[in-house]
Amino acid sequence: MTAAKTAREIKVFGIVQGVGFRPFVYRLAQKYGLTGWVLNSSQGVTIHWEGGEESISRALRDLLSASPPLARVTGSTVVEVKPHGYSRFFIQESHAAGDNKVLVPPDVGVCSDCLKEVQDAGDRRYRYPFTNCTNCGPRFTIIKDLPYDRRVTTMNKFTMCSRCRREYEDPGDRRFHAQPNACPDCGPQLRLVTPDGRTCTQTLREVLQAGAIIAVKGLGGYHLACNALDARAVRRLRRGKVRDAKPFALMAADLETVRRYCYLSGKEEEYLVSPARPIVVLRQREENRQELPAEINPNLDTLGMMLPYTPLHWLLFAGGLKLLVMTSANLSGDPLITENEEALRRLKAVADYFLIHDRDIENPCDDSVGMVVGNSWQFVRRARGYVPLPVTVPRRLKPLLACGPNLKNTFALAAGNRVFLSQHFGDLDSYLNYEKFREAVPKMRSLLGITPELVAHDMHPGYQTTAYAQELARTEALPLAAVQHHHAHMASCMADNGLDEPVLAVVCDGTGYGPDGTIWGFEFLYGDYGWYRRKGHLVCVPLPGGDAAIKRPDRMAYSFLVTALGSRGEEHAARWLPGLSGKELEVLAVQLQQGINIVSTSSCGRLFDGAAALMGICHESRYEGQGPMEMEARARKAGAYHGFYPLHLRPAGEDGFVLDSAPLWEQLVKDRERKVDVCIMACKFHHGVARGIRDGVLRMSRETGLDKVVLSGGVFQNMLLTELVTGLLEREGLQVYRHRQVPPNDGGISLGQSLVGNEVYMRNVSGSTP
């Protein structure tokens, strides 16, 4: 006797589009003899199953426990419904259905199956650079709208040939409903051209081995590539990109090549080969250092390495090359270049050849960058492979927009317990970057289906993001929430770790606008999302000339020396800071005495800058963080512990404290006079800062009774300092939390702004005080 049929309607939310979920549902229906249908909607995936009770139960179990590897189910509902008597199971056409609950999938590195086809001379996709399937390929960078179907991607203009169509419609094929599916007969085409647009008659192998620089159109934008072992090509690229010293990212053909030039732990390898394929910052092997041009990473002991993440990249290595420089093609801090015409126009003075194609990039997205600190992953830049995945937070938020910082900008859209951070936009004082930011906000709002009811922004009155927030609030009649920079950092790390209670915080960065009008940057805070108290900070010093002191670290060293040591500091500055002429020393003395063009700062970044200058490591900063990064590399070379330069804790205000840096400068000057090795000085500096942080946290912990501490701010990209601080605090019995899902630098600020902005708004509505 045939079992009576029952029916269920199942809705599945999360990353369930563009990851092979509908084919997976289809196969489950075939396995358990179920009829009905499945479809994509803007809410996720909806399934109607009819069959025996036991069969549906087993299918449901597999649905939630054995999803496709790229899927991420965040929720589901199951409702009993009336059977319709379907005779088969089929995939319905997608449709929009109310608020978006589906997660937009990020781009995914090429899978092993597709790579085998690209490398197989007998396969119809041999050497085809746009090979993909449901397990890999472009997603976020080609999506225009949801639900995710080919018609709302930049693949819409390419009509599938009969063979690709058969794959697309075959439930047993791994390209079943793979939206970017294509082949050489029907898909995007690749061309190698000269700067004037003519087709090149040479092969990729020939031009790269001849030392050429190639502009390569990738997933999220153009890169500039050259043979990393060709010193002349690397020097030409550095001159052409107007990039004097900032390290270049490298792409290695395989793990063997990575291991030849870098130390590689199991955790680091795990991220290198992951579907996201980020750039991983690795320690360089000293024994093979001479094989690489020094111009790749001047004065550093790390290399940013990634593996090929598209079939196109694998073609670059097909000629036997093992290592390429692969750097973003944006010039002088401008946005990513995504269009062929723009690349030919703007890069013709840099690139010898252009590797172009006709698949459009809808959403520009830079490479993600990260490192393993201790044994935990930490982002430097969160972008391709991760954006626009949300961060789940411990509080429910109003639909809101957090505009982010001015530097290393990301913005965030939030609703419920999810915060969606955008890709990286860089410095918004660049007009072109700001325009890209303005274009991206409404596009992301539409894609995610979030209509903000609140706008959060940094409280700095001069930021572009503040101006944008105020403009949007006027246009759409929305309330504003101004968020202090370092409170946002603290909240970001809290949310990153799912914390929802008062904590201690150490925030160390370069610049953040303080409510007192000074520039904060070495802060000891405690509080939660709704409030904070500034318990302590580095003793303030003058920032002479604003940005000039950041670009010329000698000026910062002068300020620290004179503030700490008075007239003796002026003598030491004249001796040890060769970048300052006699005339400039006179001008600086007048500036500090009369307070001309001066603002006070407690910045940890400026402390590092000044120390690097006094040690003779960096007198002119040609990229952000140059001096501190080079000093960290020197400190690691010191090896064993050599003592520390002290930062003294002393009372300030009613119940606060400051870290007095005068003892540090006293001892640093003495070591310079004694001609102590610069590596030892750098090591002592790192240990001194770490101990100063420990002392400040211990005082806060004793006075507040709190034992959980979050570390945030760009200074904690310093691997050595972060490991030292974490170790010291954990040995004191404190629980230390670091960033895991967003960067500690300003790229994670928008996450914290979302949480704090929501609390500011709720407090204003209720009329309560923190």
pLDDT per residue over 495-537, tens digit each?
999 999 999 999 999 999 999 999 999 999 999 999 999 999 9
| 615-647 pLDDT tens trace | 999 999 999 999 999 999 999 999 888 999 999
CA distance 454 to 127: 49
Confidence of residue 769 (pLDDT cuts 50, 70, 90): low
C-alpha closest to that of 727 among 764, 755, 686: 686
d(CA 82, CA 50): 9
Q: How far apart are CA 380 and CA 630, in angstroms?
A: 17
- Sheet arrangement for strand 35-41: 72-81, 6-15, 44-51, 35-41, 89-91
pLDDT exceeds cutoff 90 at 431: yes
What is d(CA 701, CA 723) in angstroms, rounded to the nearest whole number?
Answer: 20
State whether residue 121 is helix, strand or coil.
Answer: coil
Q: d(Cα 9, Cα 585) in Å, to the nearest integer?
A: 77
Question: Is residue 436 a contact partner of residue 399, using CB atoms and an 8 Å limit?
Answer: no
Higher per-residue confidence, 171 vs 186:
186
The reported pTM is: 0.93
Give 442: exposed, middle or buried? Use CB within 10 Å, 0-12, 13-18, 19+. exposed
Find tokens 């001066």 and name the residue: 598
Question: What do you get for the CA distance between the two ends of the chain, in Å?
Answer: 69
pLDDT tens-digit readout, 47-56: 999 999 999 9
368-402: buried (b, 16+ CB within 10 Å) or exposed (e) per residue? bbbbbbeeebbbbbbbbbbbbbbbebebebbbbbb
DSSP line for 664-720? HHHHHHHHHHTT--HHHHHHHHHHHHHHHHHHHHHHHHHHH---EEEEESGGGG-HH
Q: What's the token pair of residue 547?
A: 């940005």
Q: Provide mean pLDDT across the span 318-347.
A: 92
Give the model's pLDDT for residue 583. Answer: 93
Helix axes 553-565 and 604-614, enclosed angle (nearest 10): 90
Centre a 10 Å sphere on the Cβ of residue 768 and count the other Cβ atoms it contains: 9
Per-residue HEC secondary structure of 595-615 comes to CCCEEEECCHHHHHHHHHHHC
What pLDDT, on the 0 to 100 scale, is given for residue 474?
Answer: 97
Q: In this predicted structure, what is the pLDDT of residue 704? A: 97
